[in-house]
A and B are shown apart, each in its own frame.
Chain A
C-alpha cells in the first residue's frame, strides 16, 4: 500500500518546497520594507529581550575551570598538566630519535649527546617497512616520498612533524577504538557520544584554543591534544559502525567456539571488521596532517611553520614545497598503514627458520642504523643530507603565478564578476533578506517532513540557538558561503566520482589528486587564489570548493562500485544504453552514498571557515577569529557552537533524507 502511495506523495512535497522557495525569494526582496511598514523590526533583527548572555557565562565557566577547580590539594590544571607531561615523554623520545638527537640541558645551551637517526637510516627503515608490508613497489614508493623530503631540504621540519604524528595517530586510533567499542556495546554511550563527536569535529579549533593552552601548557603537547580532538571522531564512528556491520553468523561461530566476551571482541569481531577500521585509520592520519598548520601556531613547529612563514613573505615556491612535503608524508604513511592492515598473515613454515632468515629486514635496518651512525661521525653527509645537494624550485612557482596574473587576469576577472553578480550576490541577498522566524520555520518543517517531530524539535532548537545568541547574520553568511561552495563542489565532484569508476587507472589518478587536495594546507593555494581573484567571497569560495571536493568524489565512486553486478547485468540484458545504465540504475542506487558524500562535503566546508576568515569573509569563522584576537573565550566558544549547530542541522536532515531514499529503493537499513 505504502509503495503505491509514494509516487503521489513525492510530487506533492516537491511542489510544496518549490512553492516555499519561490515564496522565500519574493519575501527576501520585500521583507525589509514590510517590517518597516508594519513597524515590526523584530522580524529582521532578533530583539534584545530574546538574547541570552551565554558568552559571559561560558567565559566565566572556563575561567573557573582553569583557575579555581580543585580536588583537595590538586588543582584541575595540575591534572591536565600531568596528562600533558605523560604525553610529552613519548613525544620527546620520538623527536630526539628523529630530529634533535639526545641532548643534555635545555634551550640553546643544550649539547647533543647522541645524534638522531641519519636520513639514510630513516629511509632504509621505511623502505624495509614497505617491502615487509606489501611489495618492492610500495617500498620504492615510500622511499621516494622520504627522499623528496631530503632532496627538497624539508628533512628537519618533516621529522618534527613526523614525530608529532607518530604520537598523535596511535593515541587517536586507540582512543577512537576504545570509545567506538564502548558505543557499540552500550547504546547509552553511543547516544552520549554522537553529539560530542559532532562538536569535536565541527567546533573550529580556534574556538577552544586558548583554554587548551591554559590547561595543557603552550607547546607541542597542546598541539598534539588539539590534533587528537580533531582527528579522532571518524575513528570512533567507523569503529561502532564496523562492529555493527559484522554478520551475526560470525558472532555465532565465536560463541559456539567457546570464546570469552573479550576473545570474541579482539580475536573475532575486530579482525573481521579490519577493512572498515582501516578506513578510520586513514582518516585519522589525514586529519592529523590537516592540523599541522594550526598546531604550528601553538608551538609544534615543523612543516606547518615553514608553510606559514614562507607565505607570509609571499614565497609561493617555498610554501608549496613545504606544503607538498606534508602531502608526501601523509600519502606515504597512509599507504604504509593500509598495506600493513591488508598483509597476509605469515605462513607457519617460516617459523622454523633460523632467526637471521626469519628477520632479514629488521637486521638489515639495524645494521644500516648502526653503520650510518658510526659513519656519520666522520662523514657529516651520511648523518644529515648535505645542504649543497638540496633542490628548490625557487622562483618558478611565483613566476607561474605572475605569468597567469599578468596575461590572463582580465579573463579570470570576467569569470569572477559573472559568478559574483549572477550566483553569489543574489544568494547572499536572499538569505540575508529573509526574516529569521521564517527561516527557523522552514528548517523545522524540513525536519518534520524528513524525520518526524524529534528531528523537527532538534532543528528548531539549534536554529533558535543561533538567533538568541545574536549570531543570525553571521550564520546566514556562513550558510550562503558554504551552500554555494557545496553546490559547486557537488557539481564537480559527482561527475569526477563517476569518472573514477570507469577505469582503474583513472580511479588512481583521481584518488591521488583528491588526497593531495585534502592534505595540502589550504594556505598554499589561498595566497595564489587571492593574487588572482582578490580578497573576498569568491576567493574564499574557491578555497572551500578545493578542500571540500574530496568526499563528494569518494562517496560517489564508492556508491557506484558497491552496486551489485547482477543489477547492472539485468540492465544490460534489458537493453539499456550506457547513458540509461548510468541515469536509471547506477546513479539512483548510489544516491544514498552520494548524499552521505555531500554531507561530508558540508562538514569539510564548515571546517574551512576559519581559514576563509583569513581572506576576510564576515561569517561565523571570522567571529571565532575575532574572539581569539580579543582573548574572549566565551565569544569564541559560542560562535564555534554556532558552526556546530549549522553542521548538525545539515547532517541530520541529510541523513534522514538518505534513509528515506534507501527505503524507497528497497535497500537494507
Chain B
C-alpha cells in the first residue's frame, strides 16, 4: 500500500497544476450546497429532511449525503460534510466529544428530542410475571427469560457494546440473576424482538425511543429506582451501599452538530439550524406514518411543512 501511495503521490505531483486546482473544488462558498448527512434510520431521515426543507425555503442550496453515523465525523472534521442532525447522547457522545475537541466540529445544541432507553418487555410477558414492571419482580421471573446458554439465569439482550449503558454493572449492583448478551447492531436487536413477538415468547431487552419499535410492539419499560447523578457517581447511594449504577438509565438529549466552518460560510443557515427543535411526540407520529403505515418520508415531511409553517418560519434567520 505504501509503495502504491508513493507511486500515486509522484504521479500527482507530476500533474502539478491539476493538484493545485483540486482543493478549490472543496473549499465551500456560500452558493455551494450545505451537505446534510442521512443515516440508516427513519427518524433521522425525517429530522434531516425537515431541516433541509426549511433551509431550502430560506433560499439555501442543500445536498443530502448518505453517510455512516460514526464514520461521518471524519467528513465533518474536514468540511466534506456539513451538518448532522441527530447525534444521540447515548450512542454518539464519545465520537462527538472527540470531534468537538479538535475545534473543527461544533455542537449546535439540542434537537428538543429526548432519547429514552431502558429495559423493556412486551406486554404479554406480564401474564407470566405479574410483578412487572417493578424491577424487584425480575429475579422471580429469571427463569421465564432464561435460554439454554444462560440457565438458570435470565437473558437480557443489551445494546451494542459501543453504546455503553452500564448494564453489566447494573445487574451486579442490583443483584439481578441475569446475563447480559450484547446485540451487535440496532437491526439485530429489533430482529430478535420481532421474532419473539411473532412467537409470543418472553424477551427482556434494551429498547429506546423515539423509535418505531415501541410504537409497533405493545410493551412496557421496567421501573428501576429513578436515575440521579449521585446514583452513577456515588456507590453509597441506593439499595447497594458498595456499588454505583443501582438505578435506571438517564435520559439524554439528541444533539445537532456541524462542521465549524458552517458559521462563517452560511451565517444565516447556522442560526436557523440552531433554532430547530421538535418534540418526541411529533417525531413519533411521523416515524409511525413512515415505518408502520408505509408512507414515503418525503410526503410525511411535506405534510409537516404544510401544517407547521408558523413554527419553522420562526426558525429562519436572514
Listed in ascending order, the chain A residues whose CB lies under 8 Å from chain B are 71, 74, 76, 78-86, 105-109, 175, 179, 192-193, 196, 199-200, 209-210, 213-214, 217-219, 229, 296-301, 305, 308-309, 311-314, 402, 405-406, 409, 413, 417, 420-421, 425, 523, 526-528, 530-532, 534-536, 612-618, 622, 625-626, 628-631
4 closest cross-chain pairs (CB), A and B: A107-B33, A218-B75, A107-B63, A82-B19
The answer on a CB contact under 8 Å between A299 and B95 is no
The answer on a CB contact under 8 Å between A312 and B41 is yes
Given A106-B32, A106-B61, A299-B66, is A535 in contact with B184 using a C-beta cutoff of 8 Å?
yes
Q: Which of A217, A300, A420, A617 has most chain B Cβ within 10 Å?
A: A217
**Contact check: which of A409, A530, A628 meets B71 at CB < 8 Å?**
A628
Chain A contacts of B61 at CB under 8 A? 105-109
Chain B contacts of A217 at CB under 8 A? 26, 75, 78, 80
The answer on a CB contact under 8 Å between B63 and A298 is no
Chain A contacts of B74 at CB under 8 A? 209-210, 213-214, 218
> Interface stretch among B155-163, B236-244, B305-313?
B155-163
Residues 128-152 of chain B: 1 if any A CB is under 8 Å from the residue's CB, otherwise 0?
0000000000000000000111000
Chain A contacts of B148 at CB under 8 A? 413, 417, 420-421
The answer on a CB contact under 8 Å between B23 and A527 is no
**Contact check: which of B34, B78, B157, B190 meets A218 at CB < 8 Å?**
B78
The answer on a CB contact under 8 Å between B78 and A71 is no
Chain A to chain B contacts (Cβ below 8 Å), 25 pairs? A74-B19, A79-B8, A107-B35, A107-B63, A199-B1, A213-B74, A214-B78, A218-B74, A299-B75, A313-B212, A313-B291, A314-B187, A417-B148, A420-B148, A420-B149, A527-B187, A530-B191, A534-B147, A615-B185, A618-B161, A626-B161, A628-B70, A629-B70, A630-B162, A631-B98
The answer on a CB contact under 8 Å between A81 and B23 is yes
Chain A contacts of B65 at CB under 8 A? 218-219, 299
Cα separation A312 to B189 with both chains bound (whole Å): 10
**In angstroms, how far is the closest chain B Cβ from the Cβ of A78?**
6
Given A76-B9, A108-B52, A217-B75, 20 further pairs, Cβ under 8 A: A79-B9, A80-B5, A82-B22, A106-B33, A196-B1, A199-B1, A200-B1, A213-B75, A218-B65, A218-B67, A218-B80, A297-B68, A297-B71, A298-B67, A312-B40, A420-B148, A527-B188, A530-B195, A535-B182, A616-B161
- In the complex, the chain A residue whose C-beta lies closest to that of B95 is A631
- In the complex, the chain A residue whose C-beta lies closest to that of B33 is A107
Cα separation A85 to B26 with both chains bound (whole Å): 10
Cα separation A108 to B52 with both chains bound (whole Å): 9
Given A192-B3, A615-B184, A617-B184, is A299 in contact with B62 using a C-beta cutoff of 8 Å?
no
The answer on a CB contact under 8 Å between B184 and A613 is yes
The answer on a CB contact under 8 Å between A308 and B19 is no
Given A108-B52, A313-B42, is A614 in contact with B26 using a C-beta cutoff of 8 Å?
no
> Interface stretch among B10-18, B262-270, B277-285?
B10-18
Cα separation A109 to B32 with both chains bound (whole Å): 10
Number of A-B contacts (CB under 8 A): 213
- In the complex, the chain A residue whose C-beta lies closest to that of B41 is A312
Residues 68-90 of chain B: 1 if any A CB is under 8 Å from the residue's CB, otherwise 0?
10111111011011000000000
Chain A contacts of B99 at CB under 8 A? 631
Chain A contacts of B35 at CB under 8 A? 107
Given A199-B1, A301-B66, is A626 in contact with B199 using a C-beta cutoff of 8 Å?
no
The answer on a CB contact under 8 Å between B94 and A218 is no
Report if B56 contacts A (CB, 8 A): yes
Chain B contacts of A626 at CB under 8 A? 161-162
Cα separation A441 to B222 with both chains bound (whole Å): 50
Chain A contacts of B215 at CB under 8 A? none
**Contact check: which of A105, A109, A614 meets B184 at CB < 8 Å?**
A614
The answer on a CB contact under 8 Å between A530 and B192 is yes
Listed in ascending order, the chain B residues whose CB lies under 8 Å from chain A are 1-5, 8-9, 11-13, 15, 18-23, 25-26, 32-35, 40-42, 52, 56, 61-68, 70-75, 77-78, 80-81, 94-95, 98-99, 147-149, 157, 160-162, 181-192, 194-195, 198-199, 201, 212, 291
The answer on a CB contact under 8 Å between A535 and B12 is no
- In the complex, the chain A residue whose C-beta lies closest to that of B42 is A313
The answer on a CB contact under 8 Å between B182 and A616 is yes
**In angstroms, how far is the closest chain A Cβ from the Cβ of B161?**
6
- In the complex, the chain A residue whose C-beta lies closest to that of B182 is A616
Chain A contacts of B8 at CB under 8 A? 79-80, 83
- In the complex, the chain A residue whose C-beta lies closest to that of B74 is A213
Q: Which of A193, A199, A536, A618 has most chain B Cβ within 10 Å?
A: A536
Given A616-B182, A616-B183, is A79 in contact with B12 using a C-beta cutoff of 8 Å?
yes
- In the complex, the chain B residue whose C-beta lies closest to that of A633 is B74
Given A313-B291, A622-B161, is A196 in contact with B40 using a C-beta cutoff of 8 Å?
no
- In the complex, the chain B residue whose C-beta lies closest to that of A182 is B3
Cα separation A123 to B42 with both chains bound (whole Å): 33
The answer on a CB contact under 8 Å between B68 and A298 is yes
Given A210-B74, A218-B74, A616-B183, is A305 in contact with B149 using a C-beta cutoff of 8 Å?
no
The answer on a CB contact under 8 Å between A535 and B22 is no
Chain B contacts of A209 at CB under 8 A? 71, 74
**In angstroms, how far is the closest chain A Cβ from the Cβ of B134?**
26
Given A305-B66, A628-B71, A630-B162, is A79 in contact with B19 using a C-beta cutoff of 8 Å?
yes
The answer on a CB contact under 8 Å between A218 and B188 is no
**In angstroms, how far is the closest chain B Cβ from the Cβ of A655?**
22
- In the complex, the chain B residue whose C-beta lies closest to that of A622 is B161
**Contact check: which of B1, B2, B9, B162 meets A625 at CB < 8 Å?**
B162
Cα separation A614 to B183 with both chains bound (whole Å): 7
Q: Which of B2, B71, B148, B181 has most chain A Cβ within 10 Å?
A: B71
Chain B contacts of A402 at CB under 8 A? 198
Cα separation A301 to B148 with both chains bound (whole Å): 41
Cα separation A417 to B149 with both chains bound (whole Å): 8
The answer on a CB contact under 8 Å between A630 and B75 is no
- In the complex, the chain B residue whose C-beta lies closest to that of A66 is B78
**In angstroms, how far is the closest chain B Cβ from the Cβ of A484?**
16
**In angstroms, how far is the closest chain B Cβ from the Cβ of A235?**
13
Chain B contacts of A309 at CB under 8 A? 40-41
Chain B contacts of A625 at CB under 8 A? 162, 184
- In the complex, the chain B residue whose C-beta lies closest to that of A71 is B13
Chain A contacts of B181 at CB under 8 A? 535-536, 616
The answer on a CB contact under 8 Å between B12 and A314 is no
Given A313-B291, A314-B190, is A82 in contact with B12 using a C-beta cutoff of 8 Å?
yes
Cα separation A314 to B212 with both chains bound (whole Å): 11
**Contact check: which of A81, A296, A420 meets B22 at CB < 8 Å?**
A81
Given A71-B13, A106-B33, is A629 in contact with B162 using a C-beta cutoff of 8 Å?
yes
Cα separation A147 to B5 with both chains bound (whole Å): 40
